[in-house]
Amino acid sequence: MITNEREALAVACAMEERAIEIYQRSLLIIKEKKIQDVLKSSLEDEKEHLQQFRGFEEEYEDQDISFEKKMMLDSYGGTFLFQGGLTQAQRKGAFSSAEAMIDYAIQEEEKAYEKYQEFAALSKNEKVKKMFLTISQEEKMHQKQLKEQQKKIGEEKKERP
């Protein structure tokens, strides 16, 4: 259980690291340029989020987290976002088509949005709270971009004989 914003930042870093890994691997599999563009944009944003979270983590260096606690928080982060990593994504069929990858990413972006909203509510530091709220809105924007791409794919399929 996450008890403070320092722990929330550690979990957020783990979540972003997982998202980066999934998006990087997705780019190796998905060949459609339009979808790659959306994934690349999301990937770059996730990298930026990770930098922002790590920057705030430095402000909490005096609140040392034990190695065991850090490992637990890293693991905990993996239960929120892209649970099961690449193997689970493959099992869920995320890499079977561009549409499947987009659908999977939409679901995961929603989870990130919800979790960052929770972390914001937990935060006492106003700067950290604002960062979580801002990044949660960026996750919502990723979701919107992915839904738009999903809609375009659906429309293109309807137009084909």
| pLDDT per position as a tens digit, 126-153 | 999 999 999 999 999 989 988 998 888 8
What does pTM read for this prediction? Answer: 0.85
Confidence of residue 77 (pLDDT cuts 50, 70, 90): confident
Q: How far apart are CA 38 and CA 30, in angstroms?
A: 11
The CATH number of whichever domain residue 118 belongs to comes to 1.20.1260.10
Rounded Cα–Cα distance for residues 23 and 37 (Å): 11
Cβ contact 132:8 at 8 Å: yes
> Which pLDDT score is estimated for 57?
75
Q: For residue 138, give the nearest of 73, 48, 11, 59 by alpha carbon.
A: 48
Q: How many structural domains are present in the chain?
A: 1
pLDDT tens digits along 89-106: 888 888 787 788 889 889
**Residue 130 and residue 5: Cα distance in Å, rounded?**
12
Give the domain range for residue 16: 5-159
